[in-house]
Amino acid sequence: MAQIIPFFSPAARQSRAAAQEALIAGFARHRRSQEDVFWLKENAELLNILECTGADVAAIALQPLQPFYQGAARHLSFFRQYYRFILSICLDLEDLGLPGQTGAHLAGWVSEQGLAQAELSDLQRAEARRLLARRGVDLRDDGLDDRLRGFISNPQTFAIPNKKAAYELTHIVFYLSEYGRRDPDLPEAAFTSLEFAGLVAFLDQNADLLAEICIALRFAGGQPPAAWEAWLDRQVSAFMLAKGEFIGHHDAYHEYFVVNWLMLLSGRPAFRQAVPMGGMHVSAQQGGSILRRLSEAVFHAGMARTSWSAVKARAEAVLSEEEHGLLTAAERSCARFGGFFEGFARAGSAGAA
């Protein structure tokens, strides 16, 4: 039976170094096999957060990933469709202090093989470009930055529920800013896009996506709404780490990673729960979304009603007191709520004059 590690247990005072060691070992050895693409994804994400936040990781904590690093050339040759994960893991390991030059070797090989040229997505090419540039390999793609900025500069795209587009928005900012290392030079419309996407995520109570949006805003030189980050601060204390064999395909590990990443960036306490040694399963507080009920109220309000003032009473009438509180918090959190709602309302009829 899984053992729940409770919040504020005596073990919760474990050192940052011990928590890092337990996290790295747990994800490297005790959740999935290295041949599983989700092993690559999980470990790449953890190492990326450690590297881009400037974590001081002890050499012994990186040892569980030493075998993968040593076999990375063979792994990349066979699993070349996952080259971005593999290259990212090796680069981050080196930049965190693991001795070796494998990253430069693999970056050169990826370039020679033209793997990035096989990407159909601008987003994936942008990630590949950033990874290769970390070892001095130039990936030319004229117009790529203009296309990326053009995509994120259409706020109406992000005023409606579309998680795929919203995650692409945040990652574009990550890559253009080199994870907060330089000014991404975003147009003002892109900041509006981030706020619109953030309002959708807040109404949906999607901590994973909202944390990424707050991180992107910080990387772009903006300041996320205080209400969003305050709610995410409370979510950190709700994570539960169950000690035991990892069973199932998915858990809340990614939400756990990115919300704690935001805590680090915003100067708040992060990784507040003790991390058990060995296998673990991460769970998070669920529920609270009003997105569906709000969407239904807007849809039935009529085609011509586009403003928040025109629909507000109808929307509030279908919500509980708690849900009404969330809607009010969203409205007050962002000065652009009125403009957001015009896009969210989707008034009119397709093809109408």
pLDDT at 16: 85
Number of domains comprising the chain: 1
The closest alpha carbon to 203, from 314, 337, 309, 343, belongs to 337
In the chain, beta strands by DSSP E: 3-5, 240-243, 280-283
Instruction: Determine contact, residues 17/254, Cβ cutoff 8 Å.
Output: no
10-residue averages of pLDDT along the chain (353 residues): 37 78 96 95 98 95 98 98 98 98 98 95 97 96 96 97 98 98 97 98 97 98 97 94 82 96 94 91 89 86 68 81 92 94 78 61
Provide φ and ψ at 135, rounded to 5°. Answer: -120, 25
Write down the pLDDT at residue 63: 98
The phi and psi torsions of 352 (rounded to 5 degrees) equal -70, 150
Contact 207, 230 (CB under 8 A): no
Residue 129 lies inside a defined structural domain of this protein:
yes
Q: How far apart are CA 119 and CA 307, in angstroms?
A: 41
Residue with tokens 């693991």: 98
Query: Is 317 inside any structural domain?
Result: no
Q: Decide the pairing of beta strands 240-243 and 280-283.
A: antiparallel
Domain presence at residue 173: no
Q: Which residues of 155-181 are buried (b: 16+ CB within 10 A; e: fewer)?
A: bebbbbbeeebbbbbbbbbbbbbebbe
Q: Determine the length of the chain.
A: 353
So what's the pLDDT on residue 337?
A: 93
Taking a C-beta distance cutoff of 8 angstroms, is the pair 156, 143 a contact?
Answer: no
Q: Tokens at residue 142, please? A: 């004229």
Q: Does a structural domain hold residue 130?
A: yes
Q: What is the pTM of this model?
A: 0.93
SS (H, E, C) 292-345: HHHHHHHHHCCCCCCCHHHHHHHHHHCCCHHHHHHHHHHHHHCCCHHHHHHHHH
Sheet holding 280-283, edge to edge: 3-5, 240-243, 280-283
Query: Residue 311: its pLDDT value, please?
Result: 78
How do beta strands 240-243 and 3-5 pair?
A: antiparallel
Domain for residue 307, yes or no?
no
Residues 108, 169: Cα–Cα separation, whole Å = 29
pLDDT score, position 196: 98
Beta bridge partners of 5: 241
CB-CB neighbours of 73 under 10 Å? 14
From 105, 129, 132, select the one nearest 119 (Cα to Cα). 129
Distances (CA, A) of 209 to 202, 215, 278: 9, 10, 28
Q: Which domain holds residue 53?
A: 8-140
In a domain, 236, yes or no: no
For residue 84, tell me if it sits in a domain.
yes
Task: Kindly state whether residue 308 falls inside one of the protein's structural domains.
Answer: no
Cα dihedral value 324, 157, 154, 306, nearest 10: -50
pLDDT for 299 equals 83
Q: In a 3-state reduction of DSSP, which class is residue 188?
A: helix
